Amino acid sequence: MDQLNSFLNKQGGGQQQQGGGDPNQQQQQGGGGGGFGGMLNNALGGGQQGEAKEDGLDKAIDGFQQYVLKEGEQNNESAMEQQKDNMIADGIRNQYKSFTGNDFPIKDK
């Protein structure tokens, strides 16, 4: 997985560290970047196209990461970052259902 992140970073489709700031805070770089990495990222569901397909829970997770955890802009995430957010959303949905016996009110896209 680190090799894929490294490859995408070199191609402009992954995450890059923003210089001079907190080393734990990351700035998301364009999923729609040029070159092969940008095309691969878009094909895997990253970038602006992937953001448009997010449901309300995914958007809430992005808002939490951006405003509470201060992880930077979440409006143009890489495919891997969007997959991570989707896994978090699935975990929330599963825990909600096991606790209440009902499906989560926001449907998954």
Q: Measured between alpha carbons, how far is 87 from 66 in angstroms, rounded to an integer?
A: 17
Over the stretch 24-68, which tens digit does the pLDDT of each residue have? 444 444 445 567 777 766 666 667 777 788 889 999 999 999 999
**33 phi-psi bin (left φ>0, alpha ψ -120 to 50, beta other):** beta
At residue 6, the pLDDT reads 55
Q: Measured between alpha carbons, how far is 82 from 90 in angstroms, rounded to an integer?
A: 12
Confidence class of residue 7 from pLDDT cuts 50, 70 and 90? low
Give me 74's structure tokens.
């979440």
Q: Measured between alpha carbons, how far is 76 from 5 in angstroms, rounded to an integer?
A: 16
At residue 35, the pLDDT reads 79
Give me 83's structure tokens.
């997959």
Q: Find all residues with CB under 8 Å of 19, minimum gap 6, and list them.
A: none
State pTM to two decimals: 0.61
Confidence class of residue 3 from pLDDT cuts 50, 70 and 90? low
At residue 98, the pLDDT reads 97
pLDDT top residue among 34 and 75: 75
